[in-house]
Structure 1
Amino acid sequence: MLTVGVIGLGIALSPISTASEISQSVAQSSLEQPPMQLVPARTLATYPKGYFLESIVIDVDGTIYITENQTGQIIRRRADSGADIFSQVEVGLAGLGLDIDGTLIATGHAETGEQYIFEFAADGTPEYELRIPEAGFLNGLALFRPSVFLIADSTASTLWQFDTETRQITPWLQHETLAPNPDAPTIPGANGIKLFEGPF
């Protein structure tokens, strides 16, 4: 059984769920929030006004990677050496994910609306930059299985499946509950995705 969370929407799926079963699961999912429990926290870093820190992932060695939406930067923070700029591209960055081999994948968007997927080498060099014309606004992503990510699209009512080996993207789930709320146009639709249980 696979549990997918999209902006508080819990979807329980089996590995062989059909499209109709997925839609039914989405429609029946509860949007009720669990009780909040506060935990201790400490500030690791602060950034100037105007920075838009978007997504965060943590590698197995404790290294933290963060996308900055406005500058196209990926900020890297190591426990033993502080923070530096791991990479920077010419468009804004949103979602960020780690493959099982440590490869970083990011989603990006140009001011003119074009959507992109990037893969980065270990030294921060972009391995490739793919323009995705069929996407609306690629946002958060999560590793589905080795070399395959699920990507939330904030405007297209879609979760995309992206294969890093074939560099192909296909719709994985499309449903009206993933769309933006027409009564709150400034709030995106599916903004991020987390897998709580999965096949590996």
Structure 2
Amino acid sequence: MSLSFRNYLRRFRRDETGTASLEFVLVAPFFLGIMIFSIEMGFVTMRATFLERGLDMAVREVRLGTGSVPQHDEIKQIICDNSIIINDCANNLRLEMRPADIRNFSALDQTADCTDQAEPSKPVREFTPGQQNELMLLRACLKYNPLFPTYILGSRLINDSSGQATLIANTAFVQEPI
């Protein structure tokens, strides 16, 4: 090796310009990924919290109602009114309600009945208003569009054919007597 080439390699090895750029290039994608994950997780948590709150408020109104039998659209409207952060709640929320026998209990079906924007609308699987002192099982299934559908958390969510993810909230209540 020639002397000038050795000197050039020695200077190159000792030169520290650009080291901050290299560190940034190596570390920045991880920080950005964590930020995107945190933002998406925050919105998923907020949607789930508001869905649970709306469902609880609707069940409270049904339980303490004046003895009138609740209808599907009334309960859905109460949930949507109390779930302020959920976009297009009326079209993306699906309810399922049925009575349950406490002596011979059977839970709701494992698969939730949700909407799918790509499919034509189908009727509600089951919505049976209960009678006084009857145990009722109620499930709300919400479809929503993730903020970052192709990034870390958004790509791991189970999406339907239109790209919407699912949130499910369940509750049980006993209708109070008149």
Return the index of the structure with the highest Cα Rg: 2
The structure with more strand, counted as a fraction of residues:
1
Task: Provide the TM-score with structure 1 as the length reference.
Answer: 0.26
The structure with more helix, counted as a fraction of residues:
2
Task: Provide the TM-score with structure 2 as the length reference.
Answer: 0.28
